[in-house]
A and B are shown apart, each in its own frame.
Chain A
Amino acid sequence: MPESRSLAISLPLLLVLAACAPAGDATTDIPEDAIRLRDNYYMLPIGTDDDGCPMFRPYAPGMMTDQAIRFRRADGSFTMAREEAACEGRS
């Protein structure tokens, strides 16, 4: 009987914990070249545009992000505006 009592307690607990987990298969493997901006939010380099300007996309393990391209300013911050990007000297 003690075994079944502990099962009765632990099973709902497991279900609650499972429900709180992210719906997707969250991975904790962060690509090496990811640029960390804040907790669980990164910019991933995805190559360059036709003019050789580096492009980035947001990456948040276990979360969804928008699908707009970012470029990088000279001060290292990110921008959506291609004309604000500092493209030279970056790869």
Chain B
Amino acid sequence: MVDYNTPEYRRNYGLAAVNSITAYEAGLSGQGVTVAVVDTGIDLKQEDLDANLSPLSIDITSNTFEGVQDPYGHGTWVAGIVAAEKNDSGMHGVAFNATLMAVRADNHSDCTDGCTFADNDVARGINYAVNKGARVINLSLGSDQQIIPGSLLADALTNAVDAGVVVVVAAGNGDDAMVGQSRPDGFARFAADAAVKGGIIIAGAVDSSNTITTFSNKAGSGEEQDVYMVAPGQSITTTDLTESDINRGKTTVIYGTSAATPYIAAAAAILLEKFPNLTGREAVEILLNSAKDLGAAGADAVYGQGLLDIAAAIQPSGTLEMTSAGGKSLALEGALLASPAMGGGLAQTMGRALAFDAYERAYNADLSSRIEEPASRFTLAEAAGRMTRLHSSLDVERYGLRLGISARDTGRQHAATSLERHARDGGLDADMSFEASVTPRLSVSMQSGSTAGHTAATGEMALTARAVDPASQLSTQGERAGMTFALTRHLDVGAVAFTGERLQAERMDRSLEAPRQSGGGVTLRRWLGAGAHLDIEGGRMFETGSTLGLTGTGVFSGIERATTDYLKLGGGIAMGTLRLDGAWMASRTETTLDESGVFAGFSTLKADGWALTLTDSRFAAQGHLFGLHVTQPLAVTAGTATLHLATGWRDDAPLYTRQVADLSVAERETSLELFHRYEAAGGLSLQTNFIYRRNPDNLAGVADEAAVFLHLATAL
């Protein structure tokens, strides 16, 4: 990164006072914008200005370029503050790459101690600058006399404003010689004329401590206050005439509202460089509205709108907006909660997008920063928190009944939202499970509560269920009910039904209705003898507010619902003391949008997952059971989201394109779990689970996880 805080920068203290370095760091320096300085011309030999000097510079009297040579120095001083080059020599201007159009308009009489300017010559200079493409005009000139509406000068200023040119005029030095009022001088007061108001800025001067100088005309209490702002104007280092008798090399130091005016003119050039589509009046309004308040709160009779603040001027005004896929304005707010099944796919492929402020200025929307990690992430830390709990279970073998209740103190009171309806008033989070054999051939089961909590409740391996079950993967809290009926000795049929919701959706918007899933399926189990079996399950899952877990708010809203069809194949086989169980699941998801956000469409999302479990009971007689579990949880293997985004400009209007983001997972999660259970005499059992997860939740770049869980149980 370029360091702009150079000796050359520091030599002009006003650059820091107006926060110009923020613009430089954003790559702005007035490049491509022409600032006309209607004044005494410019020193053609000044090496700090020559590279930025426009060949269209002119002497209005002689109508020549050569005649622009500055006879006094004032035009050269002013031009230096606007755009002296950044060349590690002398000082540099506020907009050090702007183009300087020097328009000499003095009356070519004696310029000893200063030149004089006829109104008509200034008017001709303004007209010339407008006709030759200047976007900003600096007038560090003044007069006690008011401009007469209808005069050449009044018409020239009006035409300039109407042409979209930003005009900046000096407020004047010292009170009105005739009237003695502290307000802008007669010439500057024309800025409040109805014909031009809002197109001309009056520049007052402050010192290095941002206090109004003793010489500067103040804003006054009239309408001039609305278009008056201040900039540094005391002891300002700038370029000098190369042959000046007071020249101390390349620079000199000046005082006056003459010096404050070019700060604002140069700021306008920077603003128009970044946002070339702004009108002149818009640029003026932005500069005035973004000024740093000084003196009395709000606009006041001394500082008017306040101190020029370039950093603030280039920032968005009001709320940034985008346009939804349905064509409606959309505030740039909200977040996208990625799905574990999609990992970081969307964040990695999200392209550039623009958002617009109240002036239609384009800013990088940086949508990637609004993508949060999967809301239902099953982190081991969370699982540990949920597992550190008091658990009790009741097994009544005679009736095949098993009842488990697991609870923990969450340590906080929950707000009563739909997201947290499982949280009890006392801050208690409870999970329940129930299994029963109703008849020798019919068994039923039910679970309610957190996914992780059931690991504690059931004492099973922590990851087994999650690997190949879309419902448990997408929800952190829910209910599940199942029924199995032994149709024949070798065939079980069953049904499952489930609902779930994502508690962590509260992270992005507490008012959001929790994305919910529900669904059901049919199961078949074919017993092959000796404990071997083949399983098949098919079902459908319905989501509201999400698609395979992906959900969002604000610009990412609009995911209305999704339907996922899944097929699960599995089986198990016993080989002596070893037992191998496995399952594989594939799914297809169709998404319905309402186009209230930037999502314009989703393709069919294809996903799959698998799990293998190996247990060894060779030491069962001694009370030991060992297990190994490997899984790749559900992950999208193919699918895209289409987003409606502004990516540039064409014909002065935002250019909207359809960007396709790949949702497939680049680096899938692979998890390994080692399991050991020891059952001692007297019903005491100790279970140990060691878990290692690589690319947790299919997120590349997320640190791998490892954890050990202990489970102690005793029979009563």
Contacts and interface: CB of A to CB of B under 8 A. Distances in A.
Interface of A: 22-27, 29, 31, 34, 37-38, 40-41, 43-44, 46-50, 55, 57-60, 62-70, 77-84
Given A67-B258, A68-B254, A23 B178 contact: no
A67 B256 contact: yes
A23 B155 CA distance: 11
B118 A22 contact: yes
A38 B74 contact: no
B214 A50 contact: yes
A6 B229 CA distance: 53
A46 B259 contact: no
B116 A40 contact: yes
B318 to A, nearest CB: 35
Contact of A62 (B123, B145, B171, B187): B145
Contacts of A48: 214
A83 B235 CA distance: 10
A57 B152 CA distance: 26
Interface stretch (B136-144, B303-311, B706-714): B136-144
A44 B107 contact: no
Nearest to A43: B113
Contacts of A31: 177-178
Interface string B470-500: 0000000000000000000000000000000
8 contacts: A27-B145, A60-B116, A63-B107, A63-B118, A65-B114, A65-B115, A67-B170, A80-B73
B253 A66 contact: no
A82 B235 contact: yes
A77 to B, nearest CB: 8
Interface in B167-181: 170-175, 177-178
Contacts of A22: 118-119
Nearest to B151: A23
A27 to B, nearest CB: 7
B511 interface: no
A67 B174 CA distance: 10
Q: How many residues of B sit at the interface, in one of the four size bands? A: 35 or more
A55 B254 CA distance: 12
Contacts, number: 150
B258 A24 contact: no
B115 A49 contact: no
B122 interface: yes
Interface string B111-127: 01111111110110000
B255 A46 contact: no
Interface string B199-227: 00000000100000111000000000000
Contacts of B170: 67
- Please report whether the interface of chain B is mostly helix, strand, loop or mixed according to DSSP: loop
Given A38-B112, A57-B174, 6 more contacts: A24-B143, A59-B177, A66-B142, A66-B258, A68-B77, A68-B114
Given A80-B254, A82-B255, A66 B151 contact: no
B257 interface: yes
A48 B256 CA distance: 13
Contact of A41 (B116, B123, B143): B116
Q: Which 7 A-B pairs have the closest CB atoms?
A: A46-B174, A24-B145, A69-B255, A67-B170, A23-B151, A67-B258, A68-B256
B246 interface: yes
A64 B144 CA distance: 8
Interface in B52-101: 72-74, 77
B145 A65 contact: no
A64 B215 contact: no
Counting chain B CB atoms within 10 Å of each CB, the highest count among A24, A31, A58, A59 belongs to A24
Contacts of B113: 37, 41, 43, 58, 70, 77-78
B109 to A, nearest CB: 9
Contacts of B107: 63
A82 B113 CA distance: 14
B319 interface: no
Contacts of B257: 67
Given A23-B148, A41-B116, A64 B252 contact: no
A50 B255 CA distance: 13
A64 B190 CA distance: 14
Contact of B255 (A24, A40, A55): A55
Given A24-B146, A57-B173, A66 B261 contact: no
Nearest to B153: A23
B147 interface: yes
B140 A67 contact: yes
A25 B189 CA distance: 14
